[in-house]
Structure formats: C-alpha cells, structure tokens
C-alpha cells in the first residue's frame, strides 16, 4: 500500500483470454444412409485393387502371449503381410515404399510390427517363422471373391448380392472406409489433399458417420 493506493504486481494482473468468437461456426453431423448396402461393387473393386501395390507379399504369423502363472496364459495368433520387391528391381526411381522394399526390409517390417503389437496390448509377441509368399493375383482374386460371390438367404431362397457389401464380414468396415475416403479425395471434400484441413473448415469421418465444421455456410451446405 502506497499513499492509499495499492501497487499491483505484474504477475498478478489478469491474463488475457482468447478473443471472443465473432463468426458462429456451421456444424453438420450426418451419416450415410445405406452406406454398406449402396456401394457399387465394380467401383469398390477398382479402388481397393489400387491399394495392392506390390507384386508379392510375405505373410508371417505372430503369436501374442499374455497372462502368467496366477491367471493363466492366453495365446492368440494373427498374420501380418509385408510387401516384397523382386530381386534386382530398379529402386533409383521415385516409387512408393511398397515397391522398393527388399527381403531384409521385409524382415525388419515384421519385427517392427511385432513390437507395435507388444506395445499396444502388452505381453509378448513370438514370430512363428516360416512366412508364406502370396502373389498379387491371389490377393486380387480373394478380394474379387469376397465382393462378387456373397450369397444371402431370404425367405428360403438363396440370392447372389450384386450391390453393396456384407456388413458381417471382417473386411466390410475397412472396405467401406476405403471407398468413402476415395470419394472425399476425388470430389474435393477435404480440399486439395487429405491433410488440407485449414482453420476455416474441417471434415472428420468414422466409416459412415460424418462431422463437418466450417465458418462459411457454402461448404456446410
């Protein structure tokens, strides 16, 4: 106190907060009606086939071991596929990583994969060795069979599904997400690139659920 006045220390002064929002945002939450049932199979097969970039894949089996003497030991096996490059392939050009990996890099990829699994779920991961080679044509044939040869039963009659993908399949959620991500890119819903989320707008999607936030009405509409 000095002459009836209080001296205010600089550290005790109020801290300025964020500036008030002058433009209210436009928030759109929606979901795609019949997202799984309405996907055209020919377009989905073309989009998914583009993701199979390597000519051959090395498929390894990894065993996850968790638990102990007190609660018992549980083991679960999963498979991890790593792309393999042909011997003597030209790697000087600018190419995707899945086109230039070598056998040694494939082995390192398996070890990194097992470490990621171990960090995520705990316990230990064992490489069961003896990987098998799967050719690109085999992968595409399995994909085609999954999409084109799905038979459903309705009213005692067996029908071949010609549009949409089965929701009970282990691949359906992944294939659905891949297809709608392709639509976002081709129609510019995310901007020039998938990472082009500026401060003016942002689009988030979880399979068939969408959330769009922007400060302008036109992108929201």
Do 162 and 113 meet the contact criterion of CB atoms below 8 Å apart?
no
In 107-122, which positions are buried (b, 16+ CB within 10 angstroms) versus exposed (e)?
eebbeebbeebbeeee
pLDDT tens across 131-146, in order?
899 999 998 998 898 8
Sheet holding 209-214, edge to edge: 26-31, 209-214, 201-206
The pLDDT assigned to 78 comes to: 85
Round the average pLDDT of the chain to a whole number and report it: 75
Residues of the chain with pLDDT > 90, as a percent, come to: 10
pLDDT tens across 152-169, in order?
888 889 988 888 888 778
pTM of the shown model: 0.62
**pLDDT at 196 exceeding the cut of 80:** no
Model confidence at 3, pLDDT cuts 50, 70, 90, reads low
Question: Greatest CA span in the chain, whole angstroms?
Answer: 97
Mean pLDDT across 169-182: 88
The pLDDT assigned to 94 comes to: 33
pLDDT tens across 42-101, in order?
999 999 898 888 889 999 988 888 876 676 778 888 888 889 877 665 543 333 333 333
Token pair belonging to 48: 């998914």
Residues of the chain with pLDDT > 70, as a percent, come to: 67
**pLDDT at 4 exceeding the cut of 60:** no
Instruction: Give the separation between CA 191 and CA 71, rounded to whole angstroms.
Output: 51
pLDDT tens across 15-48, in order?
666 666 677 889 999 988 888 888 899 999 999 8
Instruction: Quickly list H helices, 24-166.
Output: 41-49, 97-100, 103-121, 136-148
- Bridge partners of 60? 80
Name the 3-class secondary structure at 219.
helix
Taking the CA atoms of residue 176, residue 183, residue 137 and residue 163 in that order, the dihedral angle to the nearest 10 degrees is: 60
Model confidence at 112, pLDDT cuts 50, 70, 90, reads low
The pLDDT assigned to 104 comes to: 47
């Amino acid at each position: 106190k000095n002459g009836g006045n209080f001296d205010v220390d600089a550290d005790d002064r109020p801290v300025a907060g964020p500036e008030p929002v002058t433009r209210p945002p436009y928030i759109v939450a929606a979901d795609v009606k019949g997202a799984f049932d309405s996907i055209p199979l020919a377009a989905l097969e073309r989009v998914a086939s583009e993701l199979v970039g390597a000519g051959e894949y090395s498929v390894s089996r990894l065993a996850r071991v968790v638990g102990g003497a007190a609660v018992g030991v549980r083991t679960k096996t999963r498979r991890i596929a790593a792309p393999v490059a042909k011997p003597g392939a030209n790697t000087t050009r600018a190419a995707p990583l899945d086109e230039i990996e070598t056998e040694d890099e494939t082995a390192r990829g398996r070890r990194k994969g097992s470490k990621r699994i171990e960090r995520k779920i705990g316990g230990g991961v064992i490489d069961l060795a003896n990987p098998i080679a799967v050719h690109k044509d085999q992968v595409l044939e399995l994909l085609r069979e999954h999409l084109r040869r799905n038979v459903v039963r309705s009213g005692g009659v067996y029908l071949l599904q010609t549009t949409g993908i089965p929701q009970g399949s282990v691949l359906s959620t992944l294939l659905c997400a891949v297809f709608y991500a392709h639509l976002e890119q081709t129609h510019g819903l995310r901007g020039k690139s998938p990472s082009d989320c500026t401060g003016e707008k942002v689009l988030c999607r979880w399979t068939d659920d969408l959330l769009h936030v922007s400060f302008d009405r036109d992108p929201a509409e």
